Amino acid sequence: MATIFTKIINGQIPGTFVWRDEHCVAFMSINPIAPGHVLVVPRAEIDHWIDCPDDLVAHLYRVSHVIGRAQQAAFPCERVGLIVAGFEVPHTHIHVIPTRSMADLSFANAAASVGREELGASANAIRAELVRVGRTEVSD
């Protein structure tokens, strides 16, 4: 059975995308820990990140790096944090989160829900930065 992330990737469930390439996608978290919280997700359904091939892991982190730089330019944050937990959805994903302190990296801070308008505004800010640096993988 397809994971919720595969359904988002395939367009069966709405997602607010900022990146698409042949190996992965990046879309806004619907339960963001902070404004601009993005999930970088491989297209392949791989449950545990340590089971990903080395080249895919490297690609996911390169994309997370590019997204993180865009977030740092788009949102007031001191750092951009990464979380790879994998308990909530059995499909590898990297949380890329603009942060002001370690306290910002707690799932206890996750919003119960965020409106499409707010997700869209955050996505537009990230996309604008990606375009500004010449990235062609930007998606909407």
Domain total of the chain:
1
Residue 114 in domain? yes
Per annotation, catalytic residue among 37, 59, 91, 93: 93
Where in the sequence is the domain holding 28, given as residue range(s)? 4-132
- CATH number, position 123: 3.30.428.10
Residue 138: inside a domain, yes or no?
no
* Residue-by-residue pLDDT tens, the chain, 140 positions: 799 999 999 999 999 999 999 999 999 999 999 999 999 999 999 999 999 999 999 999 999 999 999 999 999 999 999 999 988 899 999 999 999 999 889 999 899 989 999 999 999 999 999 999 999 998 77
72 domain-assigned: yes
112 belongs to a structural domain: yes
Angstrom distance (rounded) from CA 75 to CA 136: 21
Q: Whole-model pTM?
A: 0.96
Question: Is 19 inside any structural domain?
Answer: yes
Does residue 137 form part of some domain? Answer: no
What secondary structure does DSSP assign to 50-110, as a single string? Answer: GGS-HHHHHHHHHHHHHHHHHHHHHS--SEEEEE---SSSSS--EEEEEESSGGGG-GGG-
93 is catalytic: yes
